[in-house]
Chain A
Amino acid sequence: MKESLIRFSMSRPKTILLMTAIITLITVILALNQIMQHPDRIIDTDPENMLDKNEPVRLFHQTTRERFELFDMVAMGIYHPGEKGVFTPEILQAVNAITEEILALQYNDYIIDANGDTLRIDTMVNNERVNADGSTEVVREHGIIFDDLMALSEIEDINGETGDLVISSLMAQAPDDQQGANEIKKRVDLHPLLANKLASNDGKIIGIYIPINNKKLSYDLSLALEALAIKHLGKVTVDGQPFFGAPEQPMGEFIVAGIPVAQDTFGKYMFEQMGVSAPLAGLVIFILLYVFFRRVKVIVAPMIMAVLAITWTMALLIGSGFTVHIMSSMIPIFLFPIAVLNSIHVISSIHKRYSEGKGLEETILSTYRSLFAPILFTSITTIVGFVSLILTFIPPVQVFGSFVGVGVALAWFLSVTFLPAYLVLAGEKTFEDFGHAEDSEHGLLGKLARGLQGLSQNYSRTVLGMSGVLFILAIIGIWQIEINDNPVKWFKSNHPLRHADELMNSHISGTYMANIVFDFKTADAAGEEIGLADFRSEMQQNRIATAFYDREAGSIWGQSTSGDSFQLALEADDAMRENYLSTIAARLEANGMKLGKASANAALDSDDYEEFEVPEVFELLQESGPGNIAYDAENQVLFGQIKQAGLKFYAFVSDERVTGSVLSELLDELRSHGVKLADASEPFKTPEVLKYMESIERVAVDDSSTVGAVSSMLDILKKVSWELRSRDDAFYKLPETKMEAGQYFFLAKGGENPDDLHKFVTRDYDAAHLWLHLNTGDNKAMEEVVKRVDNWAQKNPPPPGVEMKWAGLNYINSVWQQKMVGGMANSLVGAYITVFLMVVLLFRSLRWGMIAMIPISLTIALIYALIGYIGKPYDMPIAVLSSLTLGLSIDFGIHYIERSRLIHKTTGSYAETIAKVFGEPATAMLQNTIAISIGFVPLFFSDLVPYLTVGAFFFAIMLISGFSTLIILPAISKLLSSKLYPGQTVSVSE
């Protein structure tokens, strides 16, 4: 079969070429079609997509954002290190001017820059919206949420300093003098939602936060912000220095930060990277091949094959609707060296054999006869290594692994069809003197191969001993690995975004956000209806486990100890009313008064009588001494007169009051039975729930070096309480009653933007969240906070009905990271076993199979040890390396073992075999080692850290595995030569 395929390709070379062209055309059309139809869905830099769209954590994050109307933010920071920092009238005026221009973008699609030139920025974007029926539609709308813009002039401040309560814009107009600027600074500092958030406590940074609903806008927006900064800050002088300063002087600057900008910028860079690195890798490999073979017409073949394999793969990827993610953008750079590998073996072998004078076609055929099996198997093991990434369950990594697998398969296919066809078409003439010009075995690599032969054969025990020591050191190194990732650190440390990130996070509380969401879930309210008498008896027998209540509705529901749910709806009847009145009568009697009966009609019509609540009547009686009091059953009203004060009053005994009193009694009794109670009506106004949130907030922020601050509606409540009491610090605290909380919330909604409150608590007050500001995007920091808070919550469970869950982009990052670590272990184990079984199958020998795994096991261990020792965090790019190493490095072992066994079959002697193996085969393997590792060198110059990491580590992996194979395998062979290469010939798979 295999020979007929090669023969077919050689006899019909033009058919093969035509086929190749047609396949290329079809795949490219597929991809173009997709690009035309969904231009927005080609590039994806959203870290959220590290998790599947339907992953619960992600869905919850999404729900949280929708519920509280939270958006991604582009942050602009204005920084000045001078003594007064940024709080000078000049800078504040510039901040206001910049804010105004940003807001004007809702009317204009351009700004005028400092030179008077027009800079277009179209803020209209296409957003996909999911309708109630599940269908989606594309709406064209503003990508900036202008209403939610956070800037000094756009924020409302509540101020009770003067005794009056002033609710006004924090900085309606920029101050004219320094005193005014200081005043603004003070107002920011005294607002818990703004202090060290909108401006730093040290006064060096002011922020403008621009919420956006589409990340694709952020890069353009950052350019506009830059232009605005130059326009308005460029004219500003501070301490006689221009804002942007003289080179030697400390100077002010503006910075743009935020995850959306990082992502969008990353996407733009990714494109450039794809456009530069892959062709550069191609060029480097081309030069190397030329050095090896010195025949352009020959080495053009592997280049064309690589380009074809990459084109087909990328076209298929895009054409089948997958997005180009950071991982998949690296496919070309991975495929280039891999695609060239097989052809190097083929060409190298032809190079060696052609000089034997058998003619071109026969040389090609004999080459494929000996190389077909190793090429096939090495391709399959490589595919296994990549496809094993499916076991990571991280979608972008899965897509990456699968499509590199596809690419490797395509490259193999081309190497057994296109390559022979091309070589035949190239003709005998091309190969004239091929292989004679410079005998590869006497070249540099040939000498190197001989050196390795000497090392492994003469010092085999030392080599193996050293390998053992290295392996132990490697294991120690692996324990030092620190698992961490941080999307901002995907940029090099000298990148402006990294600078912005560091500056912002060293001055303000933190730009990385995570949320602790508190939800209220009541027990099933549709339980069995029970009457008051039954409820009382259940309660007295301690058979009620949990109880929720709604005072206004007069209902109690929950679960009994047997797990049944119940509900009790109180309705005022005559008996209850009688009972209520008799308690009133009893209270009056205790104070020496009697409850009379009379008609209140006259009292109700008179202006002399004032209305009170029933409890107030008792208060009045207590304060002002006894009086007359009577009940009018017709009007259901208590009325009378307090003798001493001469006050005439009436108070309605409404149904609500009657059931309310019964409910209060029942609740008191439930409490005395130790039943856990929860107020189900607007639970996030109840003091217990607010206090619990406050404790969680303390656990999150206290003694934490990473959580700089927490924002929540608790801040608003405390601030209102404090301002109402003219800033008496004793009242900087949470409300003590539900009513107090309700009234503070009412006040907080008295400004121009009443809905701002609902960024923190829902309109129904049935869910709220704590907004954590972290000063680092490191996932390990996030994990530490989650662990600390969750541990505390486990020991101190929330009030009944309250559930606590995490959300936020930073939290999502930490979740997929944990998933990735487990996933990578899966992938590595899966690939290891598969590759092992395959080599056993290939060699039909368990022993050889095990030996083949030794060099790559050492390589993987060494690479991870390296990561551990140098303290490079184990992040996503690193994680994908392990399985790949396995799939690629095993190639060297397969070639070495397969070739040595073939040679041994003809020579029958170990010494001769080793001598021949370290001729052409070892040279080809060294060529490959160098070609593939050098192929990753262009990535060293990348501005994006993940590319750099992949480049550097792959370079190291290929070198280490190539050399370790050529040293360790021969050393083992030497020691076990009698067993591994017995006197007789061994059958080898055809």
Chain B
Amino acid sequence: MKMSKFILAAAILIFSAQFAMAQDAEAIMKQSHLNYYYSGDDGKADVVMTLVDGSGKERVKEFTMVRKDLVDGGDQLYFVYFKKPSDIRRMTFMVSKHVDSDDDRMLYVPAIDLVKKIAASDKASSFVGSDFSYEDVSGRLWTVDNHELMGEDKIGDTPVYKIKSTPKADDYFAYRISFIDKEQKLPLREEFYDKQGKLERVFTAEKIETVDGIPTITVRKMENVEKGQYTTIDFGTIKYNIGIDEKYFSERYMKKPHVSLR
């Protein structure tokens, strides 16, 4: 009897420890998500996106990206204003991100002066032809995955948590392993694996700078391992908490974006 009680106690202890760890993992992922995607109340940056193909050839896109959080950790507005290459200059792209429903996406095609709503059925879709998906840019909510703390590790000299996230529902990747900076709670590296445990894509935070007191990943890289190509997104002239008016995130301003969105 005593023995079985002991086992029961031990079992409870182990389970609760595991439960606690899972909770820890989820808490870390949540914090990391907030730090990465919700820093400040809003933000604006001049972005240089470089696509490097298998042969090492580079192609560059330049755009301004503006974000406004409606609820911290919740719905957000994104506005992208393209500058280069010249044939897509003045194209604008707006995403109204919803946590509990599909996002609304709108695209303005200046060549034919048309704003078109784009159905966001696929979050794995490429973000403007790059190796980043829409979800990589606007964030994958931590609640759709189960998280498991695998231990602690180091990226360079930086101590990190190693966390395995498995989608609760069948998804475009089988699992992801994130390396979260212990102190700043920002993802330094993310590995996406397929069903067979084969590494498909790798995200790396190439450069972290503190802007307006907020630690920010200013150079982000996504490598497509199979295709041997990668994309870097370089955030320049970042500004936080500039108080952008919500009304500028509308169809009218897509055609002629307000100065604060360019």
Q: Using Cβ atoms and an 8 Å threshold, which residues of chain B touch A822?
A: none
Q: Using Cβ atoms and an 8 Å threshold, which residues of chain A touch B125?
A: 167, 750-752
The answer for the CA separation of A331 and B126 in the assembled complex, in Å, is 55
- Chain B 90-133 per-residue mask, 1 if CB under 8 angstroms from chain A, else 0: 11000000000000000101111010111101101110111000
Q: Using Cβ atoms and an 8 Å threshold, which residues of chain A touch B88?
A: 742-743, 746
A724 with B112, Cβ < 8 A, contacts A610-B259, A751-B125, A763-B59 known: yes
Known A610-B259, A725-B114; 10 more pairs at CB < 8 Å: A147-B226, A164-B118, A610-B258, A612-B256, A724-B114, A739-B110, A747-B107, A750-B125, A754-B126, A763-B59
B4 in contact (CB, < 8 A): no
A542 in contact (CB, < 8 A): no
A165 with B116, Cβ < 8 A, contacts A611-B259, A747-B107, A763-B57 known: yes
Q: Using Cβ atoms and an 8 Å threshold, which residues of chain B touch A749?
A: 126, 128-129
A743 with B126, Cβ < 8 A, contacts A164-B118, A168-B119, A685-B87 known: no
B185 in contact (CB, < 8 A): no
Least distance between B245 CB and chain A CB atoms (Å): 9
- Chain A 141-169 per-residue mask, 1 if CB under 8 angstroms from chain B, else 0: 00000010000000000001001111111
The answer for the CA separation of A753 and B130 in the assembled complex, in Å, is 10
A607 with B260, Cβ < 8 A, contacts A166-B121, A746-B128 known: yes
Of chain A, the residue at the smallest CB distance from B196 is: A107
The answer for the CA separation of A360 and B111 in the assembled complex, in Å, is 99
Q: Using Cβ atoms and an 8 Å threshold, which residues of chain A touch B119?
A: 164-168
Other-chain contact of A168, B53, B57, B121 (Cβ < 8 Å): B121
Other-chain contact of B111, A168, A552, A735, A750 (Cβ < 8 Å): A735
Contact B116 A743 (CB under 8 A): no
Least distance between B226 CB and chain A CB atoms (Å): 8
Contact A740 B122 (CB under 8 A): no
Chain B: interface size category? 35 or more
Of chain A, the residue at the smallest CB distance from B90 is: A613
The answer for the CA separation of A165 and B115 in the assembled complex, in Å, is 11
Which residues of chain B have a CB within 8 Å of any CB of chain A?
53, 57, 59, 85-88, 90-91, 107, 109-112, 114, 116-119, 121-122, 124-126, 128-130, 195-196, 226-227, 256, 258-260, 262
Contact A747 B87 (CB under 8 A): no
**Which residues A722-766 have CB closer than 8 A to chain B?**
724-725, 735, 737-743, 746-747, 749-755, 763
Contact A167 B122 (CB under 8 A): yes
A253 in contact (CB, < 8 A): no
29 contacts between A and B (CB under 8 A): A107-B196, A164-B116, A164-B117, A165-B107, A165-B116, A166-B119, A167-B119, A167-B121, A168-B119, A168-B122, A552-B85, A607-B258, A610-B256, A610-B258, A611-B259, A613-B90, A682-B87, A685-B87, A725-B114, A737-B111, A739-B87, A739-B111, A741-B87, A742-B87, A743-B112, A750-B118, A752-B124, A752-B126, A754-B129
The answer for the CA separation of A435 and B111 in the assembled complex, in Å, is 97
Q: Using Cβ atoms and an 8 Å threshold, which residues of chain B touch A725?
A: 114
A743 with B111, Cβ < 8 A, contacts A163-B117, A167-B122, A752-B124 known: yes
Q: Using Cβ atoms and an 8 Å threshold, which residues of chain B touch A740?
A: 111-112
A609 in contact (CB, < 8 A): yes
The answer for the CA separation of A170 and B193 in the assembled complex, in Å, is 25
8 residue pairs, one from A and one from B, having the closest CB atoms: A742-B87, A740-B111, A749-B129, A166-B119, A754-B129, A754-B126, A164-B117, A107-B196
Q: Using Cβ atoms and an 8 Å threshold, which residues of chain A touch B85?
A: 552, 742
The answer for the CA separation of A78 and B86 in the assembled complex, in Å, is 46
Q: Using Cβ atoms and an 8 Å threshold, which residues of chain A touch B116?
A: 160, 164-165, 724
A752 with B122, Cβ < 8 A, contacts A739-B111, A746-B129 known: yes
The answer for the CA separation of A450 and B90 in the assembled complex, in Å, is 98
Least distance between A570 CB and chain B CB atoms (Å): 16
**Which residues A96-145 have CB closer than 8 A to chain B?**
106-107
Least distance between B90 CB and chain A CB atoms (Å): 8
Least distance between A638 CB and chain B CB atoms (Å): 15
Q: Using Cβ atoms and an 8 Å threshold, which residues of chain B touch A552?
A: 85-86
Least distance between A867 CB and chain B CB atoms (Å): 50
Of chain B, the residue at the smallest CB distance from A608 is: B259
Least distance between A171 CB and chain B CB atoms (Å): 13
Contact B122 A751 (CB under 8 A): yes
Q: Using Cβ atoms and an 8 Å threshold, which residues of chain B touch A164?
A: 116-119
Least distance between A101 CB and chain B CB atoms (Å): 14
Contact B129 A607 (CB under 8 A): no
Other-chain contact of B259, A607, A746, A754 (Cβ < 8 Å): A607
**Which residues A377-428 have CB closer than 8 A to chain B?**
none
Contact B117 A165 (CB under 8 A): yes
Which residues of chain A have a CB within 8 Å of any CB of chain B?
106-107, 147, 160, 163-169, 551-552, 607, 609-613, 682, 685, 724-725, 735, 737-743, 746-747, 749-755, 763
Q: Using Cβ atoms and an 8 Å threshold, which residues of chain B touch A167?
A: 118-119, 121-122, 125
Of chain B, the residue at the smallest CB distance from A107 is: B196
Q: Using Cβ atoms and an 8 Å threshold, which residues of chain B touch A611?
A: 259, 262
Q: Using Cβ atoms and an 8 Å threshold, which residues of chain B touch A747?
A: 107, 109
Contact B109 A724 (CB under 8 A): yes
The answer for the CA separation of A464 and B219 in the assembled complex, in Å, is 93
The answer for the CA separation of A332 and B49 in the assembled complex, in Å, is 63
The answer for the CA separation of A751 and B125 in the assembled complex, in Å, is 5
Q: Using Cβ atoms and an 8 Å threshold, which residues of chain A touch B90?
A: 613
Other-chain contact of A743, B87, B118, B130 (Cβ < 8 Å): B87
The answer for the CA separation of A607 and B111 in the assembled complex, in Å, is 27
Least distance between B251 CB and chain A CB atoms (Å): 13
The answer for the CA separation of A710 and B91 in the assembled complex, in Å, is 31
The answer for the CA separation of A846 and B135 in the assembled complex, in Å, is 89
Most A C-beta atoms less than 10 A away, residue of B129, B227, B258: B129
Least distance between A69 CB and chain B CB atoms (Å): 10
Q: Using Cβ atoms and an 8 Å threshold, which residues of chain A touch B259?
A: 607, 609-611
The answer for the CA separation of A755 and B54 in the assembled complex, in Å, is 12
Of chain A, the residue at the smallest CB distance from B116 is: A165
The answer for the CA separation of A868 and B64 in the assembled complex, in Å, is 72
Q: Using Cβ atoms and an 8 Å threshold, which residues of chain B touch A738?
A: 87
Least distance between A560 CB and chain B CB atoms (Å): 29
The answer for the CA separation of A552 and B107 in the assembled complex, in Å, is 25
Contact A746 B91 (CB under 8 A): yes
Q: Using Cβ atoms and an 8 Å threshold, which residues of chain B touch A165?
A: 107, 116-119
Q: Using Cβ atoms and an 8 Å threshold, which residues of chain A touch B124?
A: 752
Least distance between A321 CB and chain B CB atoms (Å): 32
The answer for the CA separation of A752 and B171 in the assembled complex, in Å, is 14
Least distance between B259 CB and chain A CB atoms (Å): 6
Q: Using Cβ atoms and an 8 Å threshold, which residues of chain B touch A609?
A: 259
The answer for the CA separation of A685 and B111 in the assembled complex, in Å, is 13
Q: Using Cβ atoms and an 8 Å threshold, which residues of chain A touch B87?
A: 682, 685, 738-739, 741-743
The answer for the CA separation of A157 and B238 in the assembled complex, in Å, is 37
The answer for the CA separation of A738 and B90 in the assembled complex, in Å, is 14
Q: Using Cβ atoms and an 8 Å threshold, which residues of chain A touch B260?
A: 607
Least distance between A331 CB and chain B CB atoms (Å): 43
Contact B117 A743 (CB under 8 A): no
The answer for the CA separation of A741 and B109 in the assembled complex, in Å, is 11
Least distance between A717 CB and chain B CB atoms (Å): 12
The answer for the CA separation of A169 and B117 in the assembled complex, in Å, is 18
Q: Using Cβ atoms and an 8 Å threshold, which residues of chain A touch B258?
A: 607, 610
Least distance between A484 CB and chain B CB atoms (Å): 40
Least distance between B133 CB and chain A CB atoms (Å): 8
Q: Using Cβ atoms and an 8 Å threshold, which residues of chain A touch B114?
A: 724-725
Most A C-beta atoms less than 10 A away, residue of B107, B111, B124: B111
Least distance between B145 CB and chain A CB atoms (Å): 20
The answer for the CA separation of A609 and B91 in the assembled complex, in Å, is 20
The answer for the CA separation of A725 and B113 in the assembled complex, in Å, is 11
A763 with B112, Cβ < 8 A, contacts A165-B118, A738-B87, A749-B129 known: no
The answer for the CA separation of A436 and B110 in the assembled complex, in Å, is 103
Q: Using Cβ atoms and an 8 Å threshold, which residues of chain A touch B117?
A: 163-165
The answer for the CA separation of A278 and B114 in the assembled complex, in Å, is 72
Most A C-beta atoms less than 10 A away, residue of B122, B124, B226, B256: B122
Contact B122 A743 (CB under 8 A): no
